[in-house]
Each structure stands twice: as structure tokens, then as C-alpha cells.
Amino acid sequence: MPKIRQRTDQRIILELCLPHVVNGLDIFCPAPCFLDKTRGWKVVWKMLMLTSLQTTAKLTLRTRVNERSFRLKTIVNSGSEDLSKMNFDISDEQKLVLDEVDRACRELRPLEDQAYLAGKFNDHLIPIFKKAQLLGLPISRRYGEGQGADILTYALALERIGREGTGVRTFLSGHVSLGQLTVQKWGNEDQKQRYLPQATRGEKVMCFGLTEPTAGSDPTSLRTSFEDKGTHYLLNGSKAWISNGSISDISVIFAYPKGKHDAMCAFIVEKGFEGYSAQQQKHKLGMPTSDTGSIFLDNCRVPKENLLGSPGKGLGVAYSGLMSGRLSVAAGCLGVIEDCITEAVNYSKQRIQHGKPIGKHQLVQRHLGIMSTNLEAAKNLVYKAALLKQRSDEQPEDKEIRERADILIAQAKYFASNASFDAADRTVQIFGSSGYSFETRAPRHLVDTRVCRIYEGTDEIMVQKIAVNLLGQDFEAYR
């Protein structure tokens, strides 16, 4: 019999654990059914009969134990059926991780402020995140200081980190999401043992070298090439706009066989390899604390054992890396929106105009209401995408799940990046003239988040990918 709890308002709550199928992904969450005593058990048995007809439904009792996986729990205040009180709870393990993330971020903030105004990379970022063991959060515990966190826990961590600025989150996107996760997914055991422990400990920085001066949204137009010399490969070409590019020690580089435009390959390239060089790209619109660099490969000699993945399968390696990167961008944008809302609410309460706080003006309230609504919508997209990405990683042979995850991540990235840019713009508007100074946080978010609509897939590419999923592959623009 389902568990019944008597409440002080003389109502009874029946907790059933029912499957909610969201885009093919089964998410189990307790569904509260409120019953008046006078109605008896009629509603109860009706619900049980309905659920028994669902072939996928599983009626279980919810045990109150610590769970390793993220559980979507419907939390309703006692005596209230107001669904606006619903929130997403997390496990105790996740709370411990996020508490450590929060502590690290609080330590980092004043130092990040100083670095931002000075227009330079924050040298304290790596030591602080190393101390908090955040530099390999989703990496297996077998490798260095990897923590083995699932994709959703990692996304929640990036959400908190995003409040500190897109530059901070971008470092982790390049170092972990695009760098380490790609090696963990596609590398052999020797490669993982050689490179991941150093990266998770912060001894080596990683980056993802796909974009080139003439190849952005179209990775098939890469000009970087390689030649097989028997005992090694020779790589020639250049990469541009690479996050962590000039400070990276280990790069995942993509190239075509010389003279061909198919059978792309991926390589793990070290900074010390002969023919490798890099330089910082300056005069960017935003993100002064994030390193962006160009990589130059001039007869760069790469050992045979540094081929990443199977020969000729580099495009698949690139696309899988971009999925992880896009999800990290979307998660970080949630934090940006949260920070903007915090700044806007505080300022709206304190700033006095026309004899009252500006928060009492309806047009200011409109900004806040839109930002809050966009945040909740973005969270649902990002969390759902993270759960599906986790399922895809656990079932790598299931093409259908992988394709659904790809589309959902594109939707999350598109919506969250635009919502974060919009939130920053609205917060600047609320601050007025004060919002035009980098001494306040909102204008930093405004210029920084503009890149979120460009890198890891432009708005246009994301929308096109989503539309083609609806129309069918015959409607691809590049056929």
C-alpha cells in the first residue's frame, strides 16, 4: 500500500513514484495526490488503475536514502497545492560537491574582479580550483584527481561557476569539457593514463583545436593537414580562437590527410612537440580573464601513439566534443542569469528615483519578471539535456538517444546563451549610467556572454540543427 502521511491541515498526501516520460527519457518523480477525507479512496484507486494501464509505469515506494543519481522531487509546502512552490532537489552527495564549488567561487570572486579590470588572465583560478578538486570533476577517479561526477552534477557546478563570469567558466569548458572529456571518451588506456592525471591535478592545461581562420561553423573546410611518415605524423596548419590556446600544454588537434577533405583524424599534441607554437589573441570584445589563442603547426612532429580515436573518425570525435562543450556553455549561462537577477534585484531595492525605489516602477519589474521566467525555462532545458547526455554516454551504441541528446543540447545552448545575454542587457538598463561601467558586474556579463552565441556553434547553426530535426535530413542546407 502506498505511504500515507497525515498533515496538520487534515489533508492526506499520497506519494507515488510514477514515470514521467520526457522526450523518451524516463524520469521518476514522486507525484503528490492530495485527498480530502470525505472523498475516501475513490481517487486513490482510480489513480492506481490508470497507472497499471501504463506499460512503462512502475509503482514503487520512495525510500529516503542518499542517492547517487539526481532525483527530480516534487516538493510542495504543507497545506499548499501551489505548484509554484515546486523545485528540484539534489542528493546529499551533490550538495557536498556544490558547497565546495560555492566556497571556491567565493574565494575566487575578488581576485577575478581585479584580473578583469586589469584585463589579464586570472592566475589564481587554477590553484583555487585545484585545491577544491574541480579541475577533473566529471573525470573517472582512476585518473589523478578525477571525481567521477555525473553530467548533471558537473552542469550544476558550471552553473554556479558561471556566476563568477563567462571567462571563468570558459576555462573549464576548454580544459575539461572539450579537452579531458574528449580524451576520456576516445583515448586508449595509455593515453588516458599519460594525460588525464596531469590535467585533473592542474599540472597541465588542455584545449580543443578545431576552429581555424577560414573554418568555423563548417569543420569540413579545415585546411590543417597531416602526413603519415611511418614512425610519426607531420602536421601543418593553424588554429584560431582557441580557448586556453596560448596557455595550453596539451591540445586535441583535428586535421585532414594531406590533399584530401575526408577521413579527418584527431591527435593529442603537446606544447613541447617540434614545430608547435602558440600566441595569445588580444583586443577581444569581452572575457579578458579567459585566454584565447592561435596555434601554429609547422611540420609539427606527432608520435604515432598520439592518434586519438580510430583513423579517419576525427569528425565524430569533434562532434562529440562539441556536444560536451555546448552543454557546458548552456550550464554556465544559467549562472550568468542568476548573477544578473541578484544584482538587478539588489539595485532595484536600493536605487531611489522619483521618491521611491525603482523596483516599484512597473517597467523595472517587467525586466525582473522576464529574467526570472527565462531562467526557469533555461534550467529545465539544461537539466533535461544533461540527463539525456548522461544516458547517451552510458549507452554509446544507441544512435537514437545520442541524436536526441544532440538536439536537446542545441536547444539548451541556444536558449540559455540568448537568455543570459538578454539578462545582462536588462540589468545594465536597470543600473542606468552605473551599468555602463565595468566597475559593476552587469556590463561584464553583457560583453562576455556575446561570445556564447558564437562559439561551440552559432545561434544560426543551432537553430538550423533544431529545424532540420523537424523537417528531415533532406532539408539540410548543405546537401
The residues annotated as belonging to the active site are 456
Cα torsion angle, 32, 38, 39, 41, sign: positive
What's the start-to-end Cα distance of the chain, in Å? 58
Return the residue matching grid coordinates 605524423.
233
Cα torsion angle, 320, 325, 330, 331, sign: positive
Gap between the Cα atoms of 340 and 357, Å rounded: 18
